[in-house]
Amino acid sequence: METEISGMDNPAMTLDEVSMERNKSFVKALQELKNLRPQLYSAADYCEKSYLHSEQKQMVLDNLKDYTVKALVNAVDHLGTVASKLTDLFDHQNSDISTMEMRASCVSQQLLTCRTYIDKEGLRQQQLLAVIPLHHKHYILPNSVNKRVHFSPLRRTDTRQNHYQAISRLQPSDAPASKSLSWHLGSETKSTLKGTSTVAPSSKDSKAFSKTSGVFHLLGDDENIANKKPLAGSQVSGVPAASTAHKDLEVPKLLTAHRSLDNNPRREIIQAPVRTKSVLSAFFVKQKTPKLKAGYVS
Amino acid sequence: MAKAGGITNAVNVGIAVQADWENREFISHISLNVRRLFEFLVQFESTTKSKLASLNEKLDLLERRLEMLEVQVSTATANPSLFAT
């Protein structure tokens, strides 16, 4: 028994070897229990014959009692050993089955994950076919904005945007850089164009449009002048200094006016005349561009 | 003499009866222990049968599950285009 226990506790043995060792020990104990029965039968026959043929029956009877007790204890011991080994074997079989179930669950989970990945991949490929036209529309959109950007002076007083507008007016319209510039402008002015398109002038706003158009016409002209002023002042040398100083004083007022208009909750109604201002300012731009070009050339 | 022989016989009968009772007591103890052993064997048989049935059920379930997994894996490996992304 000690050699079996030391053999099963050896860590160098693999799982199959340990299981085989347990099976061997159980079979061995069961065989010993099976061999106990003929031994008991033979001992019973010997005791019976000796009791019948011996003259010292009391002594034979005492020996028979002792042997019976020892045989019973031995049988109980063998039965206990066999039962213990069988229970141990059952426990290890249950453990092995649990391990196998866990591995099967792992394989099943891997299959499920693989199937989910395949489904997602197929869905993504199908969604790509539907997404491509959306990208195509996205790249067409700045070209439509490009025309409006050239003819719509925006009310924004951002110096960077004024710089872009000045560059777009100075550069020829068919230049290759104008596309990228218009794309940037389109991406920047997209939000403002959306605001103006949502607030298209209706018949109800026509009166307000007629009332406010004059005011914003002047503002737009002043703004155009203010926007063009640094360019003209920096590149044209024949401009009087007094008029430039007077216009420099007007520019902050206009800026404050625009800021107050931006903060006005009725901004949507006021933004509608910007398109008429842009048309008129486009005429002014056409009239003034030769001067600017002449000044830029000089 | 007759009285003495009668007393001796009575003593011998008493000793024999006492020995007989001791033997009967021993046999009853042995039979009781054998009966307990038999009860243990019956209980162990039922417990072992129940454990064997449970183990057999688990093995059947695991065998079916492994067969299903084997079929699924063979189906997945038979179509390698599904994994090619």
ipTM above 0.90, yes or no: no
Give the pLDDT confidence of A1-34 residue by residue, as tens digits.
444 444 455 666 777 788 888 889 999 999 999 9
Of B41, B54, B72, the CB nearest to A111: B72
pTM equals 0.50
Of B59, B66, B82, the CB nearest to A118: B82
Longest dimension (CA), chain B: 121
pLDDT at A240: 45
Give the pLDDT confidence of A256-292 residue by residue, as tens digits.
444 444 444 444 444 444 455 555 555 555 554 444 4
Per-residue exposure over A217-250, b if at least 16 CB sit within 10 Å of its own CB, e if not: eebbebbbbbbbbbbbbeeeeeeeeeeeeebeee
DSSP type of residue B81: G
Cβ neighbours for A82, distance < 8 A, ≥ 6 positions apart: A26, A29, A30, A33
Contacts of A104 in chain B (CB under 8 A): 62, 65-66, 69
Mean pLDDT of A46-59: 89
Contact B41 A79 (CB under 8 A): yes
Contact A79 B58 (CB under 8 A): no
Q: Is residue A52 part of a domain?
A: yes
Q: Is residue A189 part of a domain?
A: no
The answer to whether A113 and B76 are in contact (CB under 8 A) is no
DSSP string, B8-33: HHHHHHHHHHHHHHHHHHHHHHHHHH
CA B30, distance to chain mean position in Å, is 19
DSSP type of residue A157: -
Range of the domain at A23: 13-95
Number of domains in chain A: 1
Report residue A133 as tokens: 């036209």
Q: Is residue A248 part of a domain?
A: no
Contact B48 A79 (CB under 8 A): no
The reply to whether B72 touches chain A by the CB within 8 Å rule is yes
Cβ neighbours for A30, distance < 8 A, ≥ 6 positions apart: A82
Report residue B17 as tokens: 């009866």
Inform me whether the pLDDT recorded for A62 exceeds 60: yes
